[in-house]
Structure 1
């Protein structure tokens, strides 16, 4: 996906998040994060937006701590969020293509990283807000959802922080049925997961042996797989074949 597409998704989902927050009210519980109310969600994502904006605008090359939570009334919180969201969209839209800045996941460039990461951050939390409001979820483009699966598997869960581990080697296959080339094999062990893109132009060189079968296969529409992997939807829309204990392992240990 292009940087402009990520920025546009960020713009749309941020606005939808704010609308859902206003509709639900500050006391609404967030289903995926039961300890959070809507005010906590809006405060969190608003701080993330300001943090990312500073890094992009200033070209920060070292990790920077999150800004402190604001001391705002409930009535002031959503307007504060909208302002920070707008500033982030503008910052990414106007940033130079050769931006030099810190990034914490692999990416073609720092600008590509921040556009992608903030788009997916907004989309997942927009789902949180709409679920809290009892609203229908706004559909995600399949290509974007597939990209989010890729970011989660090859980015977040390639890090030492990942707790998705097994005592004995296991393999997990994931496939988005509505997106060409959206196919991954995840090798699980007592080390951080290792993910190989197993189809399409981005396929790796260390592919599974021909005819090899995974211990568990998960396949379905990209959006259903994406949101299930982020523990925002149940696995009902995803076909599970093989050892379904790996689904429970993911559910229990994949939190970021």
Structure 2
């Protein structure tokens, strides 16, 4: 996906998130994040958006922690989120793609990293807001879902902090039924190794639409929604240890 496409996705999902949160109300429970109410969700994503805006606008070259505790009271929380979301979309739209600054994962450019990361951050939390409202989830486009699997598997879970590990080598395969998307995740007592192929045998295979895989691997949909073959313990391992 191109940077402009990520920004468009961020813009769309941020608006949907705000609309759902406003309708649900700040005290509504978020089923996909059982410890959160909608106020916690808005405080979190509003903080993250402002943190991303600061990195892009100020061109920070070293990690600067997000500024927490700045959210207003319940009555002003959704407008506060909308303001931060609009500021992030504007900052990304106007940013110079050639300027270097801090990122968390390798990317073609810092701007490409932040546009991609915030598009997925917002898409996942939009699902949280809609789950709090109890409405049908707005769709995730197949291109964004496929890219999100790449970011999750080849990005975040290729880092030392990933806890998805096994005592003995095991292989988990993920196969989209509506797109040419297949991932093989080789697990061991070290960092998981994910490759976009279906080479070799797998101990467990999970299949579903690319959107279902994306949301399930981000623990927003139940594993039962995917078709599983082989050892179900590997799927449960992901559920238990993949939180970031």
TM-score exceeds 0.5 = yes
CA offset at residue 171 of structure 1?
0.5
CA offset at residue 236 of structure 1?
3.1
Contact persistence 2:71–2:77 (CA under 8 A): no
CA offset at residue 71 of structure 1?
4.9
CA offset at residue 235 of structure 1?
2.1
Where does the alignment leave 5 or more consecutive residues of structure 1 unmatched?
A: 200-207
Q: Distance in 1 between matches of 2:145 and 2:202?
A: 23
Other-structure match for 1:4: 4
Q: Distance in 2 between matches of 1:175 and 1:106?
A: 25
Contact persistence 1:143–1:179 (CA under 8 A): no
Where does the alignment leave 5 or more consecutive residues of structure 2 unmatched?
A: none
SS of the residue 1:178 aligns to: coil
Q: Distance in 2 between matches of 1:20 and 1:39?
A: 12
Normalized against structure 2, the TM-score is what?
0.98
Match 2:221 to one of 215, 219, 233: 233
Would you identify which runs of 4 or more consecutive aligned residues in structure 1 move more than 4 Å?
none
SS of the residue 1:191 aligns to: coil
Other-structure match for 2:177: 177
Q: Distance in 2 between matches of 1:80 and 1:131?
A: 21
Q: Distance in 1 between matches of 2:188 and 2:129?
A: 35
Other-structure match for 1:205: none
CA offset at residue 68 of structure 1?
2.2
Normalized against structure 1, the TM-score is what?
0.93
Once the two structures are superposed, what CA deviation does each residue of 1:27-64 show, in whole Å capped at 9, x if it has no partner?
Answer: 11111211111000000000000000000011111111
1:7/1:218 Cα in 2 relative to 1: closer, same or farther (>3 Å)?
same
SS of the residue 2:43 aligns to: helix
Q: How many residues align?
A: 244
Q: Distance in 1 between matches of 2:227 and 2:5?
A: 29
**CA RMSD after TM alignment:** 1.0
